[in-house]
Copies of this chain bind each other. A is one copy, B any other.
Amino acid sequence: MQTLAQLETPALLLDAAQMERNIARMRAHLQPLGVTFRPHVKTHKSIDVARRMMATTQGPITVSTLLEADYFSAHGVTDILYAVCIAPNKFDHVAALQARGVKLTLILDSLETARLLVDRARSHAQRFDLLIEIDSDGHRSGLPPDAPQVVEIARYLADAGIVVHGVMTHAGSSYDCRSNDALRAMAEQERAAVVHAAERLRASGIACPVVSVGSTPTALFAHDLHGVTEVRAGVFVFFDLVMAGIGVCRVDEIALSVLATVIGHRADKGWTLLDAGWMAMSRDRGTAGQPTDQGYGLVCDRDGRPLDDLMLVGANQEHGIVAHRSGKVDGVRHLPVGTQLRILPNHACSTAAQYRQYHVLGPHGSVDATWPRFSGW
């Protein structure tokens, strides 16, 4: 067991008790809605965190890369949804995962990809478990729920003996919502889109047992998930300033922070220099478009309490510049060289990706464990 004072900085801190509360909140919210929870592991990429989110040791989970599928399957997870449209240069990797007993569900949103899957199924006798991606908000990929291709793809694949289990969508535009009413409306828009696509498939004689939705904001603000069978969400496990800016969590519910150390000052500018720059925080500026821009992160004392309205106003690769939100130069508290601070990140997924481990905080600020994590592909 270490103390925070013994850690070299920058270091990634995880408040385990707060994480457990965040998980409990999601479970409590989804349980009465009658859906399966398929947590997204892209935020944390850690089996220690996943085990606290998963319904069973075998999953189900959602992944954003096949490296995540490799890692979590090596730790016993067998029910995995890879939620990025599949491309042919990943077919061999998919086959290797299947050969290890993973039920890996893939997604697609075009007849073009369906044809590549059929070619591969025939040439390699490979089985595929598929969902069709539906676009519920114009955010990125997926077919509009009314698109003729939704039914055409499912029929084409069924004729070739490939099972389409259903439909899925991700309302990424929920990150642009600015009120609880807007979040509830976006959750309903997400639900309605994918349920409509599912009904069209069923009307065409395709069973469609899986109807999957998900994003942290819509998952937490959905009040009716009629017709939906599963929900995916990831960043809720840690939360971050972007989520706080949307109103999905409070700042004191953010479980992830970066421990940094004061290395110098520019008193003439009101600056305190830290050993945590954009490499430690990531370049994510997700709060820049929100009503409260948090710079590269919100500055807290070592115990995690926001400090004097200080934020990371600038960052070089390994230097962070702390200043008062107002830009004032006089009256900024002198934080001596060596002072440790905790910085709350804009975006947990991108900040955590910069680190190889979590330092897990116990109830009294001790470092009780180190949990490894990974990045890359």
Contacts and interface: CB of A to CB of B under 8 A. Distances in A.
A319 B141 contact: yes
A88 B338 contact: yes
A358 to B, nearest CB: 12
A113 B264 contact: yes
B337 A263 contact: no
A304 interface: no
Interface residues of A, number: 67
A273 interface: yes
Interface stretch (A3-11, A47-55, A189-197, A363-371): A3-11
A110 interface: yes
What is the oligomeric copy number? 2
Residue in A280, A321, A377 whose Cβ sees the most chain B Cβ within 10 Å: A377
B319 A84 contact: yes
Contacts of A336: 112
A151 B264 CA distance: 17
Interface string A5-49: 111111100000000000000000000000000000010000000
B375 A354 contact: yes
A263 B252 CA distance: 39
Nearest to A334: B112
Contacts of A42: 317-318
Given A89-B8, A113-B264, A375 B375 contact: yes
A273 B139 CA distance: 12
Interface stretch (A71-79, A236-244, A281-289): A281-289
A138 B271 CA distance: 11
Contact of A85 (B109, B263, B317): B263
Given A140-B321, A317-B64, A87 B283 contact: no
A221 interface: no
Contact of A172 (B140, B279, B316, B349): B316
11 contacts: A8-B377, A64-B317, A85-B263, A108-B264, A141-B263, A141-B266, A278-B284, A280-B377, A283-B347, A353-B354, A355-B377
